[in-house]
Amino acid sequence: MKKIGEIMRTMGRALHLELTEHRSTFLVYSVLRIAVIVTMVLQFLNRNYENVFLCLLTLLLLVLPGFLQMTFRIELPKVLEIIILVFIFSAEILGEINEFYLKFPYWDTVLHTMNGFLAAAIGFSLVDLLNRNKKVGMSLSPVFVAIVSLCFSMTIGVLWEFFEFGMDQLAGFDMQKDTVIQTIRSVALNTEGHNVTVNISGITETAVNGQVLPIDGYLDVGLFDTMEDLLVNFIGAVVFSVIGYFYIKNRGKGGLIRQLVPTRKTGSQDYIRQAIEEERAEKAEIQGKENEKKKQKPRPDAAMRQKEKKRK
């Protein structure tokens, strides 16, 4: 247990060094963290315990970029890290708790576009860092790396849609939001049993079990939402893949591109090693002070002699 505690203290110190490395990102992180804590207190007072859990999850996610940088020794550019932090806050606190998904129809679309962009950045950085590692011996073309980042982003997007569908079916959520449409096309409505599509347009109301729903059309359950999410995820992924392609092609000459592509940390940015060295220095200093005290403290035999002299 003592060893585990020492490891946790070392990781905590390294994480603090990581989070405070850049003043701008630390300022954004601090402001968002305070906003989340205030929101969590308000939700607790209102007894919205599910939202309290979302706030705790958000606090954990806000630390995640710094933890990944520290653990895998990669450096996220300041602009990219700020985008990630704002994305987390926008999705959880603004989107879920403050119901921006309902108040602003395009909020979900914007976030899924950003998700495609960020996921492509992660996939690109993983391949590019391996591609530049001499020990691995990879030499992939810029086009191939861009395609891999695109595919990585789309895989993340598909897995997220799987998660939404699973939560809707198993937990009774509505993560795949419904869409009201006025036209449906279906083979299942063909009364003759042929594989011929039946079109029904101009739908103004829908009734279920004799009860008319308060909508002005037919209720699509998730298909439009899923396909729109994947489409905008694709757009975000394509944008970053193109950026990544030119980054490799010109090897980081563009100022804007350098602000969006992660790189490998230098020795001075290895905060785990710095934390270990600082703790060793502190232990050595403490040990040195203890040794000095021992030297200054009279030995038992010398103390006895002094007492005997005083008695005489």
Q: What are phi and psi of 260, to 5 degrees?
A: -125, -5
Domain ranges (residues) in the chain: 1-104+265-283, 105-174+223-264, 179-220
Integer angstrom CA distances of residue 272 from 11, 263, 266: 7, 17, 12
Q: Are 173 and 166 in contact (CB under 8 A)?
A: no
Q: Are 105 and 224 in contact (CB under 8 A)?
A: no
Sign (positive or negative) of CA dihedral 297, 298, 300, 303 = negative
The mean pLDDT value for 8-23 works out to: 81
For 31-81, write each residue's pLDDT tens digit: 999 999 999 999 999 999 989 999 999 999 999 988 888 887 888 888 889
Better-predicted residue by pLDDT, 171 or 60: 60
For 204-236, write each residue's pLDDT tens digit: 999 999 899 999 999 888 899 999 999 999 999
The one-character DSSP state at 217 is S
Report the distance separating Cα 11 and Cα 70, nearest Å: 9
The alpha helices in 132-222, defined as continuous H runs, are: 142-171
Residue 13 pLDDT: 81
Pairing of strands 211-212, 218-220: unpaired
Q: Are 125 and 243 in contact (CB under 8 A)?
A: no
Report the distance separating Cα 218 and Cα 300, nearest Å: 94
User: Average pLDDT of the chain?
Assistant: 86
Residue with tokens 């299942």: 188
User: What's the pLDDT band for 17 if we cut at 50, 70, 90?
Assistant: confident
Name the percent of the chain lying above pLDDT 70.
Answer: 90
Q: Are 166 and 158 in contact (CB under 8 A)?
A: no
User: What's the pLDDT band for 297 if we cut at 50, 70, 90?
Assistant: low
Residue with tokens 């193109």: 242
Q: What are phi and psi of 181, to 5 degrees?
A: -125, 160
Single-letter amino acid code for the residue at 119: A
Q: Which residues contact 139 (CB under 8 A, 6 or more apart)?
A: 131
Q: Which residues contact 186 (CB under 8 A, 6 or more apart)?
A: 197, 198, 200
Q: In the structure encoding, which two tokens stand for residue 4, read together?
A: 């585990």
Residue 303 pLDDT: 56
Residue 90 pLDDT: 95
Q: Quote the Cα angle for 8-12-15, to 5°.
A: 135
Sign (positive or negative) of CA dihedral 23, 29, 32, 35 = negative
Report the distance separating Cα 277 and Cα 274, nearest Å: 5
